Chain A
């Protein structure tokens, strides 16, 4: 069973092809260039190199968010259309859990994090075990200070993600020695890890419906404002 995995949820572009949890090939670039321009040529290039055609694929996995709205939409739409066109399953996987996989051997808990601007982060709390990760707390978007307070009793904690550097002082200030930080590759989502998680989803029978959408973790500003004007609750946190 061959699976294509795509991640465009941050500035990093990741594409991997796996066969039964074995990585056939993986491309990761951190060029900060347009995903719209580079994604399909990267997929095409890797597939060609592996001497595979679209017919050979049995599933398509995608980092479904949270992350950059435009980024996750490009990856998601590409993966969804590819899967639909070939009549194979689409497997949406949390971008945060894919990043957390980089800390799956860490003895404490893992905090993957993407910047959500205005001092807020997309984050969650994971626990690694036997090379896998499971969620301890629900994924959310929230103020970094409030989040650090919430996890202050946990520890030691491994913070992962390229955006962590922006909050490094705040994190160390709040958690001191209990906070550790990822190095190089550990801070970048691996599309191969994403693919590994997707195989687990497929085994559980999890797959995206044709009307599947990315997990933005928050409403659009316009919708949130409209709801608060009309007596509803906008809610920063939604189900992960």
Chain B
């Protein structure tokens, strides 16, 4: 705690293509959240190029941190701790945030904590309304599709994960075969609204009690559908195909989330990660949760994608648990949450 009795944590996030820094008070009050997106830089390559991303992070990092402090009206000396995304993510990109955080921790004499990127995504909701434990979180993004159980702050247990593609990855790949621009997720969401889910596509339920996911079969089915139509010389209703694909993903995500909530006997579901910006997923989950009497937390769109505020929030509880990192902390591209 600082002199004024509140905990002020500066978060740094550079795991992919956003350079971000934020200041969060007591783990729940967002004081600033600066995001320097590289989306435009990578668009011409059709995806994130790791070397390009790393170079950009170096260029932006200190200016972004300075802006986060300025917007929060906080001086370095008033901070309680620094929190940085340690992993998972692109190693070259993670290294920039980790190097900056360690240098700042040394220069300003501040304690440092490393944060798991997924923990950060879950804590995005905490910045809107405090998380109520125990809870189950569905984390869906370009790199992850996981169901996590949290008995309390800073405690994680994994219930299920994808066995192949992440949901966001499937969205991006299907967007590419539908010749939609990068990033594909929002494009499919938009196109699906113009179509009907009239095409029969598979749902991968896996073993009866499994909370794991699989999206590669669905992706192949979409590709096959396009391929067959081309061979027959028939035109594909792209909007219908987008709607059918999205419905399959959303149905599996929703059903498994509800099963996870019931299996752990909790009444709070948290949606997290970039794919939680998907409108079909948001409405399907909120409708289902209303019916089942489950409290659903969905972060606002601006906190769904990668940002440092969520890292600062999650980091606050690691700091309070005194789980400090040393100056020898390394970026961990395959960091495990549990």
Contacts and interface: CB of A to CB of B under 8 A. Distances in A.
A86 B268 CA distance: 44
B34 to A, nearest CB: 14
Contact of B103 (A73, A81, A223): A81
A108 B328 CA distance: 42
A226 interface: yes
B108 interface: yes
A84 interface: yes
Interface string B33-73: 00000000000110001011011011111110110000000
Interface stretch (A35-43, A122-130, A133-141, A190-198): A35-43
Nearest to B42: A222
B108 A85 contact: yes
B331 interface: yes
Contacts, number: 105
Given A70-B92, A73-B54, A73-B58, A38 B328 contact: yes
A223 B106 contact: no
Contacts of A207: none
Interface residues of A, number: 35
B107 interface: yes
B238 to A, nearest CB: 27
A82 B107 contact: yes
B332 to A, nearest CB: 10
Contact of B106 (A43, A216, A222): A43
Nearest to A74: B99
Secondary structure call for the A interface? helix
Nearest to B52: A220
A172 interface: no
B98 interface: yes
Interface string B57-96: 1111111011000000000100000000000000010011
A70 B95 contact: yes
Most interface-central of B54, B66, B99 (chain A CB within 10 A): B99
B152 interface: no
Most interface-central of B61, B63, B76 (chain A CB within 10 A): B61
A222 B92 contact: no
B162 interface: no
Range, interface on chain B? 35 or more
A78 interface: yes
A70 B53 CA distance: 12
Given A69-B54, A81-B100, A36 B59 contact: no
A44 B106 CA distance: 8
B77 to A, nearest CB: 11
A80 interface: yes
A84 B51 contact: no
Given A36-B330, A44-B327, A86 B107 contact: yes
B328 A40 contact: yes
A212 B62 CA distance: 10
B52 A77 contact: no
Nearest to A84: B62
Interface in A208-224: 210-214, 216, 220-223
Contact of A81 (B44, B61, B328, B330): B61
A34 interface: yes
A77 B59 contact: no
A214 B62 contact: no
B49 A73 contact: no
B102 interface: yes
B109 interface: yes
Given A36-B330, A41-B327, A70-B92, A81 B59 contact: no
A39 B99 CA distance: 9
Contact of B96 (A77, A211, A216): A77
A77 B76 contact: no
Contacts of B45: 222, 226
A53 to B, nearest CB: 8
A21 B104 CA distance: 26
B101 to A, nearest CB: 8
Contacts of A213: 55, 58-59
A54 interface: yes
14 contacts: A37-B329, A40-B327, A44-B106, A54-B107, A74-B99, A77-B58, A77-B95, A80-B62, A81-B99, A81-B107, A82-B103, A220-B51, A220-B52, A222-B45
Interface of A: 34, 36-41, 43-44, 54, 69-70, 73-74, 76-82, 84-86, 210-214, 216, 220-223, 226
Instruction: List the 5 closest pairs (A to B, CB-CB), nearest first.
Output: A85-B107, A81-B103, A40-B327, A77-B99, A84-B62
Given A80-B100, A212-B59, A213-B58, 8 more contacts: A36-B95, A36-B330, A40-B327, A54-B108, A80-B103, A85-B104, A220-B49, A220-B52
